[in-house]
């Protein structure tokens, strides 16, 4: 076979690899999607998240008792057991627990997402700087993460929340302030591992600036494991903001917050089990769903890591 | 590096971290919007009373002076005063720490005693029904909100069935055992007060089980993963090839090596359980550091929170050193660089 014959074969092979389906997905993405779909638990997680998102967006418009979302009072109907009128029963002010659990989805998911976006952005940026440039700045950043990670996160979040004052916005800030170090460490470790790789060196040798090497070559490759962590953490962020609400350091009444609802129900354990139970199930499902999603994503994006479940 | 030098170096490294913790929590205490002296004085306080409280807590000095006073006080055993309890923070910590330690210790005992064997079972029966059940239990274990699980336990085991008490360290009229360690179970055992021992164990059960759940789940899945990995090693194949029974292979060859990384996980879980105890103590009215932290945070009483953060930082750092030393002792391949 002549050399001229071999080249066209190579040229013909190339489009095969990058052929795109009508969805605009390449071969690699399609394989990843197929892998994700083969894991039933991940699909369950995704389905629950889909439902939760739909509820968070549209829920408040379809709830049976829109007035109960905030501070309505129907003392005549207080602490009624679950029935056809009130699927999840009513609370101490006679408000429909089902309505308030549905309305709480928006509060919880917004809190979870905002916390993770803030912690992810700040943590990854600082971690990337520490890993890529190193030096005194990098050392300083990492020592700061040590300090944050030495204090149990809930205690630190409580301290931040107490110092900032109550309210949903402050709780989101408090929890992000506690969570950025986790992302910082992970981002630094990934960036250090990639800093001396051949593609980074190649980019630098053709004249790319250091910032360009970091942001367009190294960081995109460092993202997958960080994203997997983020997807799992959304659930735990929902849990932590609810815990702060439960303690009384978070969202304040009458905002429908799952943690606050559980705390209110604590005073009526003997006569109204439903009051605390249903908001708890909502938190459980949310955390569970993001855990399942994260595990599925890990299998796809970070095949070397071992599964957690 | 010798073991003693290694430990000494690690212990010395705790100092700058704790210094950072003190700086962070102090800074936090100064951005509090409310005025702690006003809170402590109460609504009916006269301006003179208010001024006196400000002086008593050193709140009228410039901020750097306040930090310097706080820092030098730390070394002299003066960790500030709680505005709420009006007692020195160090005294409060000494009272509340044993309760938290007892709770976390029992929770970790439950977590290890259940988590490790269940993890082994899941690995030996990998991908069979027992493993699937353990997978679901583990998922629930890390996803269940501790404060909610605690309430469900109270409703079910406490109020419905009436089996177990739902709050406190002792039944309401019982007398605490003489203080030796501060752990009621240990103290009553040592002094032979069997009724108190039974009582304190019953009080401990629900909070300890609640707190053990996430740790048990993590330890179980971690044991499973490391054991499965070890079972794929060459020396395990060799053991099988020379005719060892499956039980021998698992217990004598694989398990010993597989459990080494689990030590790390147990240490980490201990730290997490300390954080988780905040919520469990709040629900079960368990008079430990977590409940103390919650009450202090709610009343913007920052001196106790700063003390708790320091104490937890210290305990966490010591646990980390213990874990690393144990790991090195169990696995000679690990270097102490």
Prediction ipTM score: 0.86
Decide if B305 and A284 are in contact by the 8 Å CB cutoff: no
Between the CA of residue A204 and those of A130, A132, A155, what are the distances in Å?
Answer: 19, 13, 44
The answer to whether B170 and B184 are in contact (CB under 8 A) is yes
Mean pLDDT (whole number) for B242-260:
85
> CB–CB of A158 and B155 under 8 A?
no
Distance CA B284, CA B210 (A): 10
Positive or negative: CA dihedral B283, B287, B291, B296: positive
Q: What are the tokens at B139? A: 């998922």
Contact between B300 and B33 (Cβ < 8 Å): no
Are B155 and A265 within 8 A, CB to CB?
no
Q: What is the DSSP letter of A254?
A: T
Q: How far is B18 from chain A (nearest CA, A)?
A: 7
- Helix-helix angle B63-75:B3-30, to 10 degrees: 150
Helix (H, G, I), strand (E, B) or coil at B166: coil
Q: Do A154 and B297 touch (CB under 8 A)?
A: no
Mean of the per-residue pLDDT values of chain B? 86
Enumerate the β-bridge partners of residue B81: B88
Instruction: Specify the pLDDT at position B96.
Output: 93
Question: Beta partners for B305?
Answer: none
Report the share of chain A in percent with pLDDT over 70.
89
Residue B140 and residue A150: Cβ atoms within 8 Å? Answer: no
The domains of chain B are located at 1-84+299-337, 93-289
Average pLDDT over residues B162-170: 81
Phi, psi of B88 (to 5 degrees): -60, 140
Minimal C-alpha gap between A84 and chain B (Å) = 24
Whether residues B297 and A159 touch (CB distance < 8 A) is answered with yes
- CB contacts, 8 Å: A148 with chain B: 24
Cβ atoms A277, A286 nearer than 8 A: no
Residue among A280, A291, A307 whose CB faces B142 most closely = A291
Contacts of B159 in chain A (CB under 8 A): 269-270
Q: What does the pLDDT average to over B314-334?
A: 84
CB contact under 8 A, A288 and B298: no
Smallest Cβ–Cβ distance between A309 and the set B155, B221, B317 belongs to B221
Rounded mean pLDDT, B157-168: 83
Cβ(A152)–Cβ(A238) below 8 Å: no
Rounded to a whole number of angstroms, the distance from the CA of A9 to the nearest CA of chain B is 41
Whether residues B148 and A284 touch (CB distance < 8 A) is answered with: yes
- Angle A49-A47-A59 (CA atoms, 0-180°, nearest 5)? 55
Burial (Cβ within 10 Å: 0-12, 13-18, ≥19) of residue B227: buried
Q: Which CATH architecture has domain B93-289?
A: Orthogonal Bundle (1.10)
Please tell me the predicted confidence (pLDDT) of residue A18.
43
Is the pLDDT confidence value at B32 over 80?
no
Phi, psi of B256, rounded to the nearest 5 degrees: -55, -40
Taking the model in full, what pTM does it have? 0.86
Q: Taking CA B300 as the corner, what is the angle to CA B296 and CA B301, rounded to the nearest 5 degrees?
A: 55
**Where residue A112 falls among pLDDT bands split at 50, 70, 90?**
very high
Q: What span, in angstroms and rounded, lies between the C-alpha atoms of B263 and B279?
A: 25
Q: What pLDDT is recorded for position A91?
A: 79
Alpha-carbon distance of B95 to B84, in angstroms, equals 15
pLDDT of residue B40: 67
Do A116 and A233 form a contact (C-beta atoms < 8 A)? Answer: yes
**3-state SS assignment for residue B331:** coil
The per-residue pLDDT for range B75-127, each reduced to its tens digit, is 898 888 888 888 999 999 999 999 999 999 999 999 999 999 999 999 888 88
Average pLDDT over residues B312-330: 87
DSSP letters of A222-265? HHHHHHHHHHHHHHHHHHHHHHHHHHTSSS-TTS--HHHHHHHH
Asked whether the beta carbons of residue A239 and residue B145 sit closer than 8 angstroms, the reply is yes
**pLDDT band per the 50, 70, 90 thresholds, residue A309:** low
Residue B101 is predicted with a pLDDT of 93
Question: Count H helices, E strands: chain A?
Answer: 12, 0
The pLDDT of residue A304 is 61
- Enter the DSSP assignment of B74: H
Q: HSE of B216 in the Cβ direction (CA atoms, 13 Å)?
A: 25
Quick: pLDDT tens for A75-93: 777 777 788 777 888 877 7
Of the listed ranges A284-288, B133-137, B179-183, the least confidently predicted one is B179-183
Provide the angle, in degrees to the nearest 10, between the axes of the packed helices A40-62 and A27-38: 90
Which of chain A's residues have a Cβ under 8 Å away from the Cβ of B225?
Answer: 306-307
- Give the whole-number percent of chain B exceeding pLDDT 90: 29
Predicted pLDDT of residue B164? 83
Q: Is the pLDDT of residue B165 over 70?
A: yes
Reply yes or no on whether the pLDDT at A9 is more than 50: no
Q: Which residues of A touch B13 (CB under 8 A)?
A: none
β-strand partners of B88: B81
Confidence of residue A24 (pLDDT cuts 50, 70, 90): low
Describe chain B by its helix, strand, coil percentages, rounded to 5.
Answer: 75, 0, 25
Q: CB B275 to CB A153 under 8 A?
A: yes
Shortest distance, CA B238 to any CA of chain A (angstroms) = 25
Set of chain A residues whose Cβ sits within 8 Å of the Cβ of B16: 143
Residue contact B309–A151, C-beta within 8 A: yes
Q: What is the mean pLDDT of residues A146-168?
A: 89
The separation between the first and the last C-alpha atoms of chain B, rounded to the nearest angstrom, is: 8
| Strand, coil or helix: A45 | helix
Most confident of A289-298, B187-196, B208-217: B208-217
Contact B254, B231 (CB under 8 A): yes
* d(CA B190, nearest CA chain A) in Å: 32
Q: What is the pLDDT of residue A308?
A: 59
Residue B18 has pLDDT above 80, yes or no: yes
> A64 or A145: whose pLDDT is higher?
A145
Convert A218-244 to b/e letters by CB count within 10 Å (16 or more is b). Answer: bbeebbbbbbbbbbbbbbbbbbbbbbb
B143:A249 CB<8 A: no
CB count within 10 Å of CB B280 equals 30
- Write phi, then psi, for B81 (nearest 5 degrees): -120, 145
Kindly list the residues from chain B whose CB atom is less than 8 angstroms away from the CB atom of residue A235: 143
Let me know: does A242 contact A283? Beta carbons within 8 Å. yes
pLDDT exceeds 80 at position B227:
yes
Residue A171 CA to residue A258 CA, distance in Å, equals 14
DSSP string, B181-224: SS-HHHHHHHTT-HHHHHHHHHHHHHHHHHHHHHHHHHHHHHHH
- Would you call the peptide bond into A254 cis, given omega within 30 degrees of 0 as the criterion? yes
Q: Which of B30, B137, B297 to mutate to test the interface with A (most CBs of A within 10 A)?
A: B297
CA B3 to chain centre: 27
Residue position matching structure tokens 């212990």: B11
């Amino acid at each position: 076979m002549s050399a001229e014959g071999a080249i066209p074969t190579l040229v013909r092979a190339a489009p095969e690899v990058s052929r795109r389906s009508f969805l605009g997905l390449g071969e690699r993405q399609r394989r990843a999607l197929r892998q994700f779909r083969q894991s039933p638990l991940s699909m369950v997680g995704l389905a629950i998240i889909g439902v939760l998102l739909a509820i968070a967006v549209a829920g408040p418009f379809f709830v049976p008792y829109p007035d109960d979302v905030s501070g309505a009072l129907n003392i005549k109907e207080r602490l009624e057991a679950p029935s056809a009128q009130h699927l999840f029963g009513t609370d101490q002010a006679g408000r429909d627990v089902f309505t308030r659990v549905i309305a709480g989805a928006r509060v919880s998911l917004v809190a979870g997402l905002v916390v993770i976006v803030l912690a992810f952005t700040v943590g990854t940026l600082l971690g990337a700087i520490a890993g890529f440039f190193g030096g005194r700045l990098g050392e300083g950043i990492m020592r700061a993460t040590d300090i944050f990670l030495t204090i149990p996160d809930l205690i630190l979040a409580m301290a931040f929340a107490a110092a900032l004052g109550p309210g949903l916005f402050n709780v989101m800030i408090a929890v992000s302030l506690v969570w950025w170090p986790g992302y910082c460490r992970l981002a630094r470790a990934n960036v250090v591992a990639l800093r001396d790789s051949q593609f980074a060196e190649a980019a630098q040798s053709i004249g790319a600036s250091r910032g360009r090497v970091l942001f367009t070559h190294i960081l995109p490759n460092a993202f997958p494991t960080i994203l997997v962590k983020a997807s799992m953490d959304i659930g735990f962020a929902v849990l932590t903001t609810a815990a702060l609400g439960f303690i009384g350091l978070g969202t304040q009444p009458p905002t429908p917050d799952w943690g606050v609802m559980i705390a209110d129900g604590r005073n009526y354990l003997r006569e109204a089990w439903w009051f605390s139970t249903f908001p708890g199930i909502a938190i459980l499902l949310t955390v569970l769903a993001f855990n399942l999603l994260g595990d599925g994503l890990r299998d796809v994006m970070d095949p070397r890591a071992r599964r957690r479940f | 590096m010798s073991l003693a030098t290694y430990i000494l170096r690690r212990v010395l490294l705790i100092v700058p971290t704790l210094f950072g913790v003190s700086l962070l929590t102090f800074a936090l205490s100064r951005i509090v919007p409310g005025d702690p002296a006003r809170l402590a004085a109460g609504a009916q306080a006269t301006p003179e009373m208010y001024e006196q409280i400000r002086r008593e807590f050193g709140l009228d000095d410039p901020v750097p002076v306040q930090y310097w006073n706080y820092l030098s006080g730390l070394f002299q055993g003066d960790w500030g005063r709680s505005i709420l309890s009006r007692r020195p923070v160090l005294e409060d910590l000494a009272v509340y720490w044993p309760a938290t330690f007892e709770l976390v210790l029992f929770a970790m005992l439950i977590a290890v005693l259940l988590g490790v064997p269940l993890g082994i079972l899941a690995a030996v029966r990998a991908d069979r029904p027992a493993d699937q059940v353990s997978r679901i239990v583990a998922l629930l274990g890390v996803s269940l909100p501790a404060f909610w699980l605690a309430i469900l336990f109270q409703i079910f085991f406490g109020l419905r069935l009436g089996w177990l008490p739902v709050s406190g360290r002792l039944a309401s009229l019982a007398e605490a055992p003489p203080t030796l360690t501060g752990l009621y179970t240990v103290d009553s055992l040592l002094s032979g007060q069997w009724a108190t021992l039974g009582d304190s164990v019953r009080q401990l059960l629900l909070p300890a089980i609640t707190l053990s759940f996430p740790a048990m789940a993590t330890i179980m899945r971690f044991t499973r993963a490391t054991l499965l990995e070890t079972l794929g090693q060459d020396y395990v194949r060799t053991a099988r090839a020379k005719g060892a029974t499956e039980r021998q292979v698992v217990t004598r060859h694989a398990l010993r090596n597989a459990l080494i990384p689990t030590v790390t996980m147990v240490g980490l879980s201990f730290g997490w359980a300390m954080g988780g105890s905040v919520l469990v103590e709040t629900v079960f009215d368990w008079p430990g550091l977590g409940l103390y932290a919650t009450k202090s945070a709610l009343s913007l009483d920052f001196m106790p929170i700063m003390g708790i953060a320091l104490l937890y930082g210290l305990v966490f750092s010591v646990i980390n050193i213990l874990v690393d030393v144990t790991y090195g002792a169990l696995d000679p391949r690990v270097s102490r660089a």
